[in-house]
Each structure stands twice: as C-alpha cells, then as structure tokens.
Chains A and B, each alone.
Chain A
Amino acid sequence: MTDTAPVISVHDLVVDYGRGKKKVRALDGISFKVMPGECVGFIGANGAGKTTTIKVLMGFIFPLKGDVQVFGEQAGTVASRRRIGYLPEVALYYPFMKARELLEIYGGLSGLSKDKLKEDIPPLLEKVGLAGKSEILLKNYSKGMQQRLGIAQAIIADPEALIFDELSTGLDPIGRFDLRSVLLNLKKRGRTIFFSSHELTEVEALCDRVIIIHKGRIVTEATVGELKKPLNLFEVIFSLPEGVVLPTSVAQYKLVEEGNQQRIEFNNVEEYSRAVSALASAGAVIHRTFSKTRTLEEYFIGLVEGIEGVGDK
C-alpha cells in the first residue's frame, strides 16, 4: 500500500436491519474515501447511518453489499484493526477493574509489551485528564471519566488512524476542550481521524473535510472551506451624498433602501471588496461593512431542511 492509498475506502455500501417486512435499509449504497493524514467529520441526524457505517468499518456488523476496506484490508479483519484506534459511541468499561488494569489489557491486545505499558500508561492518563485516577475501580468513574478512559484506550497504541463514534458524548466543556487538544495534536502528527459527531462546531474546528449523510445516503462531501464558501455573507451599508452617482460596477447589485441609507449583500468576498472600493472612490459614505460566515450547523440544517422540503414551505 502506498502513502496515497486511502486509509478508509467505502464503495457502494448497503446495510439492512431486520428481515422480511420489518427490513429497514440503514445504508443505501454509500461510497467515500478517507486519505492518510486527513481529519474527516461524518455528520448526520440521528438514524442517518453514521454509527452503522462505523460499525461496518470495525467489523461489528456485516454489509449486504459493497466493498469496505481499511488500510487496504477487508474491514473487520484482525489485520485491518491493527492500525486503528476506536472509540465507541457509548461504552461502559468493566466496573470491577481499575483504569491501569484496563489499559494494560487493551494495550496488550494492541500488541504493546508490559514494560512499554508500564511506561506509557501514566502519561496517557494524564493526557486525557485522569492523572492520579489509575487505581480507582471503574464502577466509581463518572460518565465523563469513562469517556476520557475510552479516548485513552483508543490512542494507547498510537494508531495511525482513529475512528471515533460520537466524539464528545458525555464530556463536559472542559472535557471537550481537552479532547480537542488531544485530537489536534494527533492531527499535527499526521494521524488520520474519522469521526461522527453531533457537535458541528467541533467538526468545524477540527476537520479538513466533511461527509454529510442523510437517511443512509451521502448528500455532501466537501472541505469545510468549500461548504462555507458559497454561504459567506458580506454586506455594505452606505449613503450617497448629493452629486455622487452610484458607480456602474455597483449598480448591477440589488440595492435595498433603508431610510436614507442603502444596503447591498454579496456572497463573494472579491465582489464585495471591489464594490466597497468603487463606492469609496466615487465618494459614497460607507456607514458599515459587515461580513458574516454561516456556521456549518446553519449549513447542515439548511441542507437537511432542503432535502426534507421544509425550506419550500
């Protein structure tokens, strides 16, 4: 496998749940790739098919149709899991075990030696905010602490790729911040990250690329920049003193009269800049310039509403 080969390759994946009349199509022929070093966010509403896709990647459920590969190996095989760190959406850890013991087991299963684990576990626990908690039974851990431990078990063997299902479930704001730091650090070190999340601000902050899934189908796949670009909103509010004529280059845009002031909206930063320069050169009084970038959340809601037909109402 070369460096340019995808870490995750999903082609025409179909997954059904149930049988006969109760059969529900969870994934309907989705295809996508995640390249080495990329951080990709997998977004979708509840029941869109995010967890199902991740479960197929991990070999927990079996597709009806399609080809799913991880590091060039068939998804779900032992070989494919050798280079992945995985955090499930919700997982409890053995309540009668201590964090150190649990990490020794997970690390051992990942092929780390006893000596290496002895050396690595304390700083790892510190990294996820569980320093000094290694000897506490997990039944006494809070949900947030369990989630932090989940992150620790996922990154214990310093895997080349991380697959996180619902990234920050159960974490408080501090936990989210810590997790973001850990992920940014991993990203800087060239690790491939693929995660599903409801927290679109998180996706926006971390991801290079976003895949949006809706009702088992991929509806958008683009970089965060690309998604936000057509939605950038720029505004200039100005007035024309007596004798000043609206430049012809600006007159082509739709003017909204607001008292003795006028307002123009732009979706393109270049057009906006040119118009502001032209207005200033012509002697117009610029009262306010305004730029607003819509969030990914707004984009996502708009997209889903558009698909569902809500936007047409």
Chain B
Amino acid sequence: MRPVWLIAKSVLIEAVRRREVYVIILLSLIVIGGVMSVNFFGMEGLTKFYRDVALEVMSIATALMVVVLSCRQLPREFENRTIYPLLAKPVGRVSFLLGKLLGVLFAAGFCFFLFMLIFLIGTWYLGGKIPWIHLAEYVYLQMLAMTIITTLGFLLSLIMNLDAAITIGIIFYLTANILTTGISYIYDFAGSVGKVILIIMNYGIPQLTLFDFSEKTVHAVIWRPLGIVTLCYLTLYAMVYIGVYFSLSMLLFRRREL
C-alpha cells in the first residue's frame, strides 16, 4: 500500500504546486462573487441561488481539472521519462496506476476542500443554514463521479494523444451530464435502431447526473438526505464503470513498452 500512497503523494504535490488549480478556483470565485452581488431574489432567494451556482461551479471546475489531470498523468510520465526511475523501483504497474488514481482523487479532494471553504464562508456571510449531511453526501457522490472521470482519463490517454484525450474527456463529461438526461426524453420518439443506440448509450456512458446532489443540497429544507441503501447502489453503479475503465487501462498499460 505504501508505494500507492507515495505515487499518489507525488501527484498531489504537483497538483497543489501548479498554478492552474488556483486559477480555476479564482475564476470560480469571481463567478460566485458576482452571484453574491445580485440581490433581486431577496435574502432567502439569494442564499439558494448562491448555493445553486456555487455547487454547480464547484462540480464543473473540479471535473474539468480532473479531466486534464487524469489525461495528463501517463503521457507526461512517458514524455518526460519520469516513469523510468519510478518503475525501476520495486513497484508493480498496478500499484503505479492505483497511485496515480489516488493522487488525482486527492487533488480533486483538495479542490473540493478549497471550494467548500469558499462555499461555507459565503453561506455564513449570507446567513444561511448549512445542510451538513446533504453537503457531505454531495461531496461523496461527486468524488464517485470524479473517480469515474479519472479512470476514463487514464484509458483515453493510453489510446490516444494527450490533446485528443483531454478533448474527448471533456466531451464525455458533458455528454454524460447532458445527453444521458436527454435519452429518457427522446427514447419514446426514437425508431427501433435509434432505441438500440440509445440503450447502448444509456448503459455505455455513466450517468453522472445520478451523482449530482446539488439541487437537493440547495433545497435541503424540502429534501431529506439520501438513505444508506441509495448511497450503496450509487456506489455500486460507479464501481462498475470504475472497474471497467480501470481494468481496460491496466490491460493496456501492463503490456505497454516504455
């Protein structure tokens, strides 16, 4: 387990020291700050609007960072040859990839942590009540979504070049968020071939909207937190995609010549 942790640590150090994370957060902060200055909803409306925008920005910004970070991990190692001294140590390629996965998740966690600070300070400033359980569930579900995106990022970066991997990763994220919601609307209107395609898309693309608990966190007064069973199902659902993407990545990486 120590090699996994050490490799994760190297990813985290890089993510924390690179400026781009802070640039993303700063830009997000500008958007969130802008929202706070709009006061035509009344104080209660503003608090909800603020939460809504802040959580949405948080999800999108973290997902974009995760797409870039995960797609970049392996190609950068190959390109800069930093992988040689690492894999010359008694570290298996599975541990290496697991370490990279954990590292990207730590970085996503770090991003969430910074966003959460902003979110909590903003909510406190607006005098709103903080729905702690909803918030914890929101972060947990988002981390599951980030794990799916990370493993997909690894897979993409092993089958195409870095730029293509990032582009496809972003398209995938948007598709998984938007298209999968749309599938249920257009399914009834599709022909038989179209229905088959939609079914394949429905199962082939993970429905990341399932992991978006932001709406319920915003309207925490109306919605109760998710039950443990639902959380377990969602975890299982995520694990299937994580398992498939990670296994495929591992298959490609194991026999990859360096």
**Partner pick for A106 among B17, B81, B85, CB 8 A cutoff:** B85
Q: Which residue of B lies closest to A163 (CB)?
A: B88
Given A60-B257, A96-B17, A97-B13, also A86-B84 (CB < 8 A): yes
Q: Is the CB of A78 within 8 A of B88?
A: no
Proximity string of chain B (1-44) to chain A, C-beta cutoff 8 Å, 1 when within and 0 when not: 01100110110011001100000000000000000000000000
In whole angstroms, what is the CA distance A55 to B83 when docked?
12
Q: Is the CB of B10 within 8 A of A88?
A: no
Given A96-B18, A101-B13, also A60-B87 (CB < 8 A): yes
Nearest-Cβ distance from residue B91 to partner chain A, whole angstroms? 5
Q: Is the CB of B13 within 8 A of A86?
A: no
Q: How many residues does chain B have at the interface if contact means C-beta atoms less than 8 Å apart? A: 25
In whole angstroms, what is the CA distance A169 to B22 when docked?
37
In whole angstroms, what is the CA distance A111 to B3 when docked?
9
Q: Is the CB of A91 within 8 A of B14?
A: no
15 intermolecular pairs with C-beta atoms under 8 Å apart: A60-B87, A61-B257, A62-B255, A62-B257, A81-B88, A81-B89, A85-B88, A88-B84, A91-B82, A94-B14, A105-B6, A105-B9, A106-B85, A109-B86, A153-B85
In whole angstroms, what is the CA distance A62 to B257 when docked?
7
In whole angstroms, what is the CA distance A92 to B80 when docked?
6
**Residue B204 CB within 8 A of the other chain:** no
Proximity string of chain A (69-112) to chain B, C-beta cutoff 8 Å, 1 when within and 0 when not: 00000000011011011111011111011000100011011110
Q: Is the CB of A78 within 8 A of B92?
A: yes
Q: Is the CB of A61 within 8 A of B89?
A: no
**Residue A210 CB within 8 A of the other chain:** no
Nearest-Cβ distance from residue B7 to partner chain A, whole angstroms? 8
Given A79-B90, A111-B90, also A91-B13 (CB < 8 A): no
**Residue A150 CB within 8 A of the other chain:** yes
Proximity string of chain B (223-258) to chain A, C-beta cutoff 8 Å, 1 when within and 0 when not: 000000000000000000000000000000001011
Nearest-Cβ distance from residue A124 to partner chain B, whole angstroms? 15
**Residue A145 CB within 8 A of the other chain:** no
A-B contacts besides A91-B84, A92-B80, A96-B13, 4 pairs, CB < 8 Å:
A60-B257, A81-B89, A96-B14, A150-B85
In whole angstroms, what is the CA distance A85 to B87 when docked?
11
Q: Is the CB of B81 within 8 A of A90?
A: yes
Q: Is the CB of A58 within 8 A of B255?
A: no
Given A61-B257, A90-B81, also A84-B88 (CB < 8 A): yes
In whole angstroms, what is the CA distance A152 to B235 when docked?
43
**Residue A59 CB within 8 A of the other chain:** yes
Contacts of A105 in B (CB 8 A): 6-7, 9-10
Q: Is the CB of B90 within 8 A of A97?
A: no
Contacts of B84 in A (CB 8 A): 58, 60, 86, 88, 91
Contacts of B2 in A (CB 8 A): 108-109
Q: Is the CB of B82 within 8 A of A94?
A: yes
Contacts of A88 in B (CB 8 A): 81, 84-85, 88
Q: Kindly list the 5 A-B residue pairs having the minimum CB-CB distance in the complex, ordered from nearest.
A: A86-B88, A109-B89, A88-B84, A96-B17, A60-B258
Contacts of A109 in B (CB 8 A): 2-3, 6-7, 86, 89-91
Contacts of B13 in A (CB 8 A): 94, 96-97, 101
* Of listed B7, B17, B18, residue having the most chain A CB within 10 A: B17
In whole angstroms, what is the CA distance A86 to B88 when docked?
6
In whole angstroms, what is the CA distance A61 to B84 when docked?
11
Nearest-Cβ distance from residue A35 to partner chain B, whole angstroms? 22
Contacts of A61 in B (CB 8 A): 257-258
In whole angstroms, what is the CA distance A61 to B255 when docked?
8
Q: Which residue of B lies closest to A93 (CB)?
A: B82
Q: Is the CB of A78 within 8 A of B90?
A: yes
* Of listed B2, B87, B255, residue having the most chain A CB within 10 A: B87
Nearest-Cβ distance from residue A195 to partner chain B, whole angstroms? 14
Q: Which residue of B lies closest to A102 (CB)?
A: B10
Q: Is the CB of A108 within 8 A of B14?
A: no
In whole angstroms, what is the CA distance A97 to B14 when docked?
7
In whole angstroms, what is the CA distance A129 to B6 when docked?
26
Proximity string of chain B (183-198) to chain A, C-beta cutoff 8 Å, 1 when within and 0 when not: 0000000000000000
Nearest-Cβ distance from residue A233 to partner chain B, whole angstroms? 42
Q: Which residue of A lies closest to B77 (CB)?
A: A94
Q: Is the CB of B90 within 8 A of A91?
A: no
In whole angstroms, what is the CA distance A110 to B87 when docked?
11
Nearest-Cβ distance from residue B209 to partner chain A, whole angstroms? 35
Chain A, range 135-175, C-beta contacts under 8 Å to B = 137, 150, 153-154
Contacts of B85 in A (CB 8 A): 86-88, 91, 93, 106, 150, 153-154
Contacts of B255 in A (CB 8 A): 62
Contacts of B87 in A (CB 8 A): 58-60
